[in-house]
Amino acid sequence: MATPQFKRKVIPHLVALSLASAATGQVIAAEPETQKAEEKTADVTITVTGLRESLKRNLADKRDANAVVDVITAQDIGKFPDKNIAESLQRVPGVTINRGFAGEGNEVSIRGMDPQLTQTLVNGQFVASTSWFSLSFNRRSFNMDLMPSELVESVVVYKSPVAELDEGGLGGTVMLNTRKPLDLDSGTIYASVEAMKNSLDSDTGASASGLFSWKNEQANFGILATLSTAETVGRGNKAENYWEEAWSAAGIAQFRQDRQRDTFDINAQFAPSDRLSIGLHYFNTQLDAQNTNQNFLLFNRSADVVNGSSVTSPTTGVPMAGTLIGGTTASGGWMLAQDVNSRRPELESDLTDLTFDYDGDTWRFHGSVGNTSAEGGNGGNVNSLWGINDTDARWQNNGGNVSVDYDFLAATGFYLNVNNLDLSDPSWQTNLAMSLSEVTLFDEEDWLQADLDFDVSWGDFHTIKVGIKSRDHSFGKAQTNYTVDAAAVMAGASTLGDSGYFNGPIDIDGGVLVGGSEGSIAGVGLNFDSAVRNNVTGSEYLYAAYGEVQEKITAMYLQGDFSGDKFRGNIGFRYVKTDVEGSTYADPLDQNSLFAREANYSDVLPSFNFAYDFEEDTLFRMSIAKVMSRPAYSTLNPALSAINPTANTASSGNVGIDPFRATQIDLGVEHYFGDNNFVGVALFVKDIKSFGSSGTITDLVYEPNGDLNAPNDLEPYTLTVPTQGTQGQVQGVEFNYQKMFGNFGVLANLTLSDSEGRTEAGDVASLPGQSDTSYNITGFYQTDLIETRLAYTYRDEFLAEGTAFGNALDVFDDQAYLDLSVTWHATDTIDVTFQGVNLTDEVTVQSHNPISSLGSNRVTTANGKRFFLGASVRF
């Protein structure tokens, strides 16, 4: 039997009609009125051509929305406020972001909820994405690295749901809206070039993008195509300490990733009549994310004390500062070695969305059928160790002279100094191990959607909306290990120095080390990665590591929109049923032992949004709703681990775990005054009824063939799986302010929040990702010749996102970033732009949780400052 292959599905050959609203020209069910290319408010048409005008449209969209939303609009084609969409979103009240290995924003957290509880949609539809890191599973949070900001016309952040909007955003929903050709002048052309620098490296990245939009003379058929290519120089200097974890090692490291993202996007529209409109959107992005992570580490492979000094103490308080003197132990265990990991991931995501809109006299119909798929993984992880262990004579007391001074308890970074060995010298570093392992990831969804809007005159209700959507979603993970001819790779060489793989010293700086610590290590070149891949002698598919989950989702909704003299809003409910099936192998050595576990759940999600105009410029807003998010991919993954065939026990994900569920309430007052000025305050509460936790239960069993009653079956295994959190709460207040002063302007917001979660065992702690305080301050200056913006973003400490509640969570210290943007309008059609990101050279600090450990520094990272210089032309 062949090993499983993830299959890319073909879009079903379905034709659905959809009708667009007579008022808007087109309606997409998940895209309320805030998403038009041109807005009219108070009989004034707002055309977006600059920062001030963009902010005016943002306020108009926010004010007119029938839900709690914030809006970010591109100033013009290709002029989204930031180079990275996530970094623009962090300036929205209540929104914080995760930064990836290279320091760029890549995931969005809304009101303190884990990024995987943020729903991200493109033109109303889910976009599949994968990751490249060796240890990661797919994530429900969309990887913003995959979406060029040039493609985006506007972003709407929904903090309260509406029934017509896809479920899944417990924290909120981020809607990315792209441009459409019938909204632009025929023959519109935009092109840009840009250079990028990182302060930690001399390399330069180059980017270019182009857009062309055309429509016929009748303005009923148009095509808009966008091409983009971007090189990013990503660096991370690090001090890493895993001594309080199962993997006892600590040292200094550098992460290097030179990414290239190539994107193609095409939108076609055909309106054969005033009533009918047909649209086709295709999006494809490919990311070459080759990267190397090189750590020089002090390993402890035993728990023995060496010469009265030991740094092995996860929780008991044995000192993690001092001097480790050479000498062997009975079991052997000390090692000074470089742990080098190089990967060649190539990620690809695409989306095809075919829409039909039809406008009747008193009704509108919208239909959508499409597919999105993604493939990725680490592209093969080549791992190697270079150094010496405690059997080497240099470690010995009798004649040896190597010792290590260390302090892992510093507030920022740590101190590590090796006496009598030069870490940048390759001549003493022998190869201790090498391996190659490849993880592949897959994510895919097909959907079919139909929506109907009816004009009614039922009291204050003016529109009734109904719809149905079917989604077939699958995601999976697999792993293959390879055997390598180590002798052929080394070709008789005895050390890194004479192997030909040494490519010079790597300097690790940037504020991650205590003064006097080692700061330079011997670099291992990428030619070693190639040599390992060229000397593979065999492979082994890990059946136990294979896991695939299928979700069949059916959703229906009913929504009524109402308005009166001073009020407006909507009320409705969304019913959604989810059937889950997880597949893996019962026997890691038997390719015929594929089995599946099943589960299902359903949710009724009522929502009520209400806005009341106290007077012309002041309104009160309220929202009450039930929300849900499906469990993380890794939580559901049924792949087995820690298999013990003697005791018939194993660990796995849990396809039967309930989704995250919550009831939320929003109350707010918004005051709009003068020209483009605003002040507002909003209170929010999320009462969480269920969530995933890191605790385990052992009362689940499985049979290898899935049938507990089958004759001659193997003894059932007892599974240790993720358990259910019982309750939690997030509450807070947001303050928002925007004011224009002639050519100057200021935007400021502040979010104060608190959270608490409780496991079935009764453990209580804050939820991951929640900062008690976060704020943003942006000042700008704009004339006909120049636009300048300076933005400062701050959040205080928070538990690391992506770690399950109830675990010994890591804590991030507070973080602050300062960004600058300057645009010179050289001519009516040519702009020159400079951007600086992280101008204060912020260093992030992640510590082990002091409640359950010594609170030692875990990872201190410097990603450097980023600079962009570019020019663009539009005509």
Which pLDDT tens digit goes with each residue over 802-822? 433 334 468 889 999 999 999
Model confidence at 9: pLDDT above 50: no
Q: 168: number of CA atoms within 13 Å, CB side?
A: 26
Per-chain mean pLDDT for the chain? 83
pLDDT of residue 301: 53
Weakest mean pLDDT among 2-6, 50-54, 390-394, 460-464: 2-6
Q: Which of 311-320, 361-370, 463-472 has the least mean pLDDT?
A: 311-320
pLDDT higher than threshold 50 for residue 350:
yes
Block residue for tokens 């099936």: 581
d(CA 250, CA 266): 48
**Is pLDDT above 80 for 13?**
no
Q: For position 131, what pLDDT does the model report?
A: 84
Q: Which pLDDT does position 44 carry in this prediction?
A: 36
Q: CB–CB of 173/119 below 8 Å?
A: yes
Is residue 31 predicted with pLDDT exceeding 80?
Answer: no
* Of 123 and 76, more confident: 123
| Mean pLDDT (whole number) for 316-345 | 67
pLDDT grade for 697, boundaries at 50, 70 and 90: low
Taking the domains of the chain in order of start, what are their residue ranges? 33-874
Q: In the prediction, which pLDDT does 715 show?
A: 57
For residue range 519-530, list pLDDT tens digits in order.
899 999 999 999
Decide if pLDDT at 710 tops 80: no
For 619, the token pair is: 């309104």
Written as six digits, the tokens of 206 are 């180059």
Q: Range with the lowest mean pLDDT among 41-45, 118-122, 380-384, 411-415?
A: 41-45
Q: pLDDT category, 30, cuts 50, 70, 90?
A: very low
| Alpha carbon distance 63, 619 (integer Å) | 9
Contact status, residue 753 vs residue 731, Cβ threshold 8 Å: yes
Enumerate residues 6+ apart whose C-beta is below 8 A from 768.
114, 798, 799, 800, 801, 802, 803, 804, 805, 809
Judged by average pLDDT, the poorest of 21-35, 63-77, 712-726 is 21-35
For the chain, how many residues are written?
A: 875
- Please give the pLDDT value at position 230: 93
Instruction: Reply yes or no on whether the pLDDT at 577 is more than 60.
Output: yes
Instruction: Report whether pLDDT(229) > 70.
Output: yes
* Residues linked to residue 356 through DSSP beta bridges, in sequence order: 278, 367
pLDDT of residue 725: 67
Q: Taking the CA atoms of the chain, what radius of gyration do you get in angstroms? A: 28
Domain 33-874 of CATH type 3.30.1510.10: no
Mean pLDDT of 482-487: 95
pLDDT of residue 325: 59
pLDDT value of position 16: 30
Least confident range of 87-96, 438-447, 723-732? 723-732
Section 260-286 average pLDDT: 95
Does pLDDT of 41 surpass 90? Answer: no
Give strand pairing partners of 190: 211, 874
Residue position matching structure tokens 């429900």: 140
**Burial of 360 (C-beta count, 10 Å sphere; 0-12/13-18/19+):** middle
Q: 15-24, 288-297, 617-626, 701-710: which has the highest mean pLDDT?
A: 617-626
Q: Dump pLDDT digits (tens) for 768-795.
A: 778 899 999 999 999 999 999 999 999 9
Q: How far is CA 780 from the centre of its chain?
A: 29
For the stretch 376-393, pLDDT in tens is 999 999 999 998 876 666
- pLDDT score at 211: 94
Residues facing 552 on adjacent strands: 472, 579
Interval 332-355 mean pLDDT: 89
Give CA–CA dist 423/251, Å, rounded: 11
Of 333-337, 342-346, 656-660, 808-812, which has the strongest mean pLDDT? 342-346
pLDDT at residue number 493: 93
What is the 3-state secondary structure of 23-53?
CCCCCECCECHHHCCCEEECCEEECCCCHHH
Predicted confidence (pLDDT) at residue 203 exceeds the cutoff of 80: yes
The whole-number pLDDT of residue 342 equals 95
pLDDT at 640 over 60: yes
pLDDT digits (tens, 9 = 90+) for 122-162: 999 999 988 887 556 677 877 787 888 888 899 999 999 99
Inter-residue contact 311 to 408 (CB < 8 Å): yes
Res. 333 pLDDT band, cuts 50 70 90: low
- Model confidence at 231: pLDDT above 90: yes
**pLDDT tens profile 488-540:** 999 999 899 999 999 999 999 778 888 888 889 999 999 999 999 999 999 99
Predicted confidence band of residue 761 (pLDDT cuts 50, 70, 90)? low
Task: Give the mean pLDDT of 441-464.
Answer: 96
Mention every residue, 6+ apart, whose C-beta is less than 8 A from residue 298.
249, 250, 251, 311, 324, 334, 335, 336, 404, 406, 416
The model carries a pTM of 0.86
Amino acid at 390: D
β-strands 118-122, 172-178 pairing: parallel
